[in-house]
Amino acid sequence: MELFDTHCHTHEMVRRITPVYDKWHGDSMERTPESVIDAAHEAGVSRMLCIGTSLADSELAVEFVQNRGNMWTSVGIHPHEAAEALQKGHLDALRALVTSPKVVAVGECGLDYFYNHSPKEDQITVLKAQIELALEHNLPLSFHVREAFDDFWPLFESYRGAGLRGVLHSYTDNTANMERAIKHGLHFGVNGIVTFMRDEAKLVTYRTIPQHLLLLETDAPFLTPVPFRGTVCESKHVRVTAEFLAKLRDENPEDLAAETTANACALFTV
Ligand SMILES: [Zn+2]
């Protein structure tokens, strides 16, 4: 089985950039990036995409993937970091970083109105800048959209016809937004959340995402799937999510793995 973790923060293990990623050291397991990568390979997770969340974090991710096989990175500003990025003028440096080797996407970028760690106007400004950066370099986007589709769609659709492509990472929203995303050819990143989802309507959504738009991810170190809740999430956990999802969708796990990996390789051109 060959799986692709299309959204992880594994690079955050090596240097403290944002306190939230101290979670990498949140259980009693001894971990190194090598042990995490080896364990992923053993589980069949042969490809990984590290995701940048701020300028400093994106710089670290770029450095981290350079000498590692089958690992790539995105560079981007998470909506939580939008205000600081604007204050410090980080968008110009991000524009320079995007041309680094092994950068295959822009993001994670988007709108998060659940936490609102940055003002909405700042989130929108920084999202637009990243959409334009992706278009300029013909790169796909990794979107983080939480309780914000009412603002996301008009903004996204204002670029209609420009050739935007990408993935709605950690998709947990409803069927109406799924259908709207399908119309635009957007991909859906599914992670460990599906294994502990109780909302029957959302399980229906997971069952109906078209296979050709489905990607697998972890968001490691977060969102550990059942039955490993309580431990730190690693890329190897894509495997149990794939097996769970295959069962939910009544599909062969080998086929689901092959299809989602092919989808990811095509989207990120790797
Ligand atoms: Zn993430």
**Cα-to-centroid distance, 258 and ligand 1 (Å):** 23
SS (H, E, C) 53-86: CCHHHHHHHHHHHCCCCCEEEEECCCHHHHHHHH
From ligand 1's centre to the CA of 9, what distance in Å? 7
pTM over 0.75: yes
Q: What angle, 0 to 180 degrees and rounded to 10, lies between the N-to-C axes of helices 175-183 and 200-208?
A: 20
Query: What integer is the mean pLDDT of 216-242?
Result: 97
Could you report the per-residue pLDDT of 151-171, keeping only the tens digit for each?
999 999 999 889 999 999 999
Structural domain boundaries in the chain:
3-268
Helix (H) or strand (E) holding 188: strand 187-190
Looking at residues 122-147, what average pLDDT do you find?
A: 98
Mean pLDDT across the chain, nearest whole number?
97
CA of 143 to the centre of ligand 1 (A): 9
User: Distance, CA 8 to ligand 1 centroid (Å)?
Assistant: 6
Question: pLDDT (tens digit, 9 = 90+) per residue, 72-98?
Answer: 999 999 999 999 999 999 999 999 999
Helix residue spans in the chain (DSSP H): 33-42, 55-65, 82-87, 90-97, 120-136, 149-157, 175-183, 200-208, 238-248, 253-268
Q: CA-CA distance, 257 to 207, in Å (whole number)?
A: 15
**Ligand 1 center to residue 131 CA distance, Å?**
17
- pLDDT band, residue 174 (cuts 50/70/90): very high
Q: Ligand 1 centroid to 42 CA: how many Å?
A: 23
Spacing, Cα 53 to ligand 1 middle (Å): 8
| Domain 3-268, CATH among 3.30.2130.10, 3.20.20.140, 3.40.50.150, 3.40.190.290 | 3.20.20.140
Tell how far the Cα of 172 is from the centroid of ligand 1, in angstroms: 14
Tell me the pLDDT tens digit for each residue of 99-123: 999 999 999 999 999 999 999 999 9
